[in-house]
Amino acid sequence: TSDRSEFPTVGLRGSGTLTLRPFSNSANLQIGGVNTFVSESFLTTLAAAASTTGSQFQNIFIGNSTGNNAIALVDNLNITTPIFGTLNFAPITLQTASTFDAAEFAINTSTASLVINANQGISNLGNIVAAGGNVDIVTNQGSITSNPNSSIRTDSNNQSGGGVRIIAPNGSLTLGAIDTHSNAALVTGNGGNITLSTAGNISVGNLIAFATTNNNGNAGLVSFTSDNGTITFTGNTINLSANKG
């Protein structure tokens, strides 16, 4: 536990759960860049160590789900793996009982699944990429907003597209494009499911969840739920095509 850490750049190795928690329950946490609570280079070296040794953590938790620690990105967060590295790095969870502000910076987890859970709201999301991984973005008390020109992409050329689930039971959703398609040629790959649920309004851009016609996969299922609001489509493309269904 620490409010500001400089982790080693040689890559930790383990097989269980790695939890990086702040010492204080109220300190604001910065992620990405250098000399922050968790730097981009530290996460990249974790992925590299898993790729070269075959040993990796099963889950990585950053933040405290019960602490009042606002989390903010201060730079693009790109977690890269070697070209012949592990196919699926450990799922990454960013968590706080406070707020999460992405400041429109990009998050690229390579193939790792990503969870953002911030109880009081999630704002200014930029581009998110998790090729073949799942993306879950949840806030219990607030709303979720993103740059209208941004996208969430879980599409894959090697396997099924990952699912995208965005939930705000007491707020609203303002999102850009979502792309969960599968373009896998050598295996059957399905488009990832897209689930949006909120009490208020939903605004979303292009929706792409197709499965390429030569892999016999299924398109992703799309589900929107708004308890008391309206659903607005701001894009110009909805592609749910598939050879199978």
Confidence check: pLDDT of 49 > 80: no
162-175 pLDDT tens trace:
999 999 999 999 99
* pLDDT-derived band at 215, boundaries 50, 70, 90: low
DSSP structure string for 25-51: SS--EEESSSSSSB-HHHHHHHHHHHH
Which of 155-187 are b and which e, b meaning 16 or more Cβ less than 10 Å from the residue's Cβ? bbeebbbbbbbbbbeebbbbbbbbbbbbbbeee
The pTM of the full predicted model, rounded to 2 decimals, is 0.91
